Amino acid sequence: MNFESVVANVPDYKAFLTVDEMDDSCRKLANEFPDIVSVFEAGKSRKGHSILCMKIGNGLKNALCFACPHPNEPIGAMTLEYFSRALAENDDLREELGFTWYMIKCIDPDGVRLNENWFNGPFNVYTYTRNYYRPIGYEQVEWTFPIDYKELHFHNPLPETQALMTLIKEIRPEFMYSLHNAGFGGAYWYLTHDLPELYEGLRDSAIKQGIPLNLGEPEEPFITKFSSAIFKNMTIAEAYDFIEKFSGNKPNIKNGTSSSDYASGVTDCVTLLTELPYFFDPRIEDLSEGEITRKDAILQNVKQSQAHFDLLDQILAEVRPYISDENPFVKLVEEVIQYVKEGSEAKIKWADSNPEFEKMASRAEIFDNLQVAKFYNGLYLGLTVRTCEYEIERLKREKNSDQIALGPFMETCKKGKQLLKGYCGNLESELDYLAIPIQKLVRIQLESGLIVANYIRKNR
């Protein structure tokens, strides 16, 4: 099957869709193609927003695609925006692929609304960091699927997660596409199955768009690498075992497992994730030898993170007694502060335990450990500022609130904003990055999905 024309026709999107725009677009497509597309409510969000699912076509196999699994990851919504219309308009494409498609553009509408201030740009490090939102692990749709593993027992899936669980059990998909994306770096992929015949095509989908591969460190040290920039989908059990092994303690994990892990327990399902950044720096694919060992790069990463989150801990200490329980921004910051405190020793032991880490690191590994890590650490400074802003607005709005707290929040917010501007300014000077056009990101994510779907059509 030739996908070139389908991929080439992706529009030159200039902004990401808001939740309301996604919903309107789904309903419009169903009205235009009533014999091909239907829309139904798969569930409701925690705040009561309808989670809309499109059903397209009537192929023999079922495919489930859902976007915004983390609310700061809207690339997948644009991929489904384009692909759903392409399927509706193109009978040949729909019939050749042979699937009935179930598509949810926004699985976490409440969280996505808290990111919409950066959806129109300007697309730079500061705007993204300043307006970034991501929930704590036990409030993430992707990581709240039920699990019983050793001493970890999680049976409190979110309403949004329950909507996916119901769909997975009802349609038993042969293909599932959890449409994630990263923030900074290069392209990489996760698969539940080791399918070597697909790897060159997946990597080429990014290379053709001029986007580098992420050849630095994997997201987590316990992740299995299938091939360059291609990894096995991670599970919460693997995270548990890693922490237990290298810390010697029972892991303090409060969330569940992933959608791919859950689906694999329901049906023989191939799950794909295509991780794409908003920003990239060419150093992320530089495999030439650097000046320090990989062990040294990891240890510097740990030291850098410890210092950063110690600072955030000190900032929050000034206002922590006054933060309300409903504040959505602070929870993940607190979780990561604790994770860095408890997990740093495990990471150091891991780096000490592997003789391979005594070899000189590639420049990509050094860049990933130091500069890319600094980008991601900065996002928690942005969340800290938003924590204070939320409380300031709440205190001004509520007449019976503790007005004594307003002063500390105002002062901490002012300090946080100054730190954030300086932090992002330093990053801007250290990085040689470009913001990737949305069109290119959608093309890569779309072609990757088509490659895997076509393989399943022919082989499973």
Please state, rounded to an integer, the average pLDDT across all residues of the chain: 96
Q: Which residues contact 53 (CB under 8 A, 6 or more apart)?
A: 39, 40, 41, 42, 102, 103, 104, 167
Report the sign of the C-alpha dihedral through residues 247, 248, 249, 250, in that order: positive
Q: Which of 245, 225, 222, 186 is nearest to 433 (CA)?
A: 186
CA distances from 365 to 54, 113, 239, 280, 351 (A): 41, 34, 21, 15, 13
Query: Across 86-136, where does the E strand assignment appear?
Result: 99-104
Rounded Cα distance, 237 and 265, in Å: 14
H-run or E-run covering 213: none
pLDDT-derived band of residue 1, with 50, 70 and 90 as boundaries? low
Instruction: Tell whether the model's pLDDT for residue 249 goes beyond 70.
Output: yes
H-run or E-run covering 51: strand 50-56
Q: Which of 154, 137, 47, 39 is nearest to 88 (CA)?
A: 39
Q: Tell me the per-residue pLDDT of 273-315, one tens digit each, with 9 for 90 and over.
A: 999 999 999 999 999 999 999 999 999 999 999 999 999 999 9
Q: Residue type at 242?
A: F
Rounded Cα distance, 187 and 278, in Å: 10
Q: Tell me the per-residue pLDDT of 122-135, one tens digit each, with 9 for 90 and over.
A: 999 999 999 999 99
122 upstream amide cis, omega within 30 of 0: yes
Q: Kindly report the pTM of this predicted structure.
A: 0.94
pLDDT score for 247: 86
Beta-bridge partner residues of 189: 230, 274
Provide mean pLDDT across the span 246-256. Answer: 91
Q: Tell me the per-residue pLDDT of 76-107, one tens digit each, with 9 for 90 and over.
A: 999 999 999 999 999 999 999 999 999 999 99
Q: Residue type at 370?
A: L
pLDDT score for 345: 85
Provide mean pLDDT across the span 149-169. Answer: 98
Instruction: Tell whether the model's pLDDT for residue 53 goes beyond 90.
Output: yes
Q: Residue type at 12?
A: D
Instruction: Tell whether the model's pLDDT for residue 403 goes beyond 90.
Output: no
Instruction: Tell whether the model's pLDDT for residue 176 goes beyond 80.
Output: yes
Rounded Cα distance, 427 and 252, in Å: 32
What's the burial of 168, exposed, middle or buried (CB within 10 Å: 0-12/13-18/19+)? buried
Tell me the two tokens of residue 15: 């902004």
Provide mean pLDDT across the span 218-240. Answer: 95
Neighbours of 224 (CB within 10 A): 12
Provide mean pLDDT across the span 199-221. Answer: 94
Instruction: Tell whether the model's pLDDT for residue 118 goes beyond 80.
Output: yes
Q: Residue type at 244?
A: E
Q: Tell me the per-residue pLDDT of 254-276, one tens digit each, with 9 for 90 and over.
A: 999 999 999 999 999 999 999 99
User: Measured in whole angstroms, how far is the alpha carbon of residue 55 from the centre of its chain?
Assistant: 24
Radius of gyration of the chain (CA): 22
Instruction: Tell whether the model's pLDDT for residue 405 goes beyond 90.
Output: no
pLDDT-derived band of residue 398, with 50, 70 and 90 as boundaries? confident
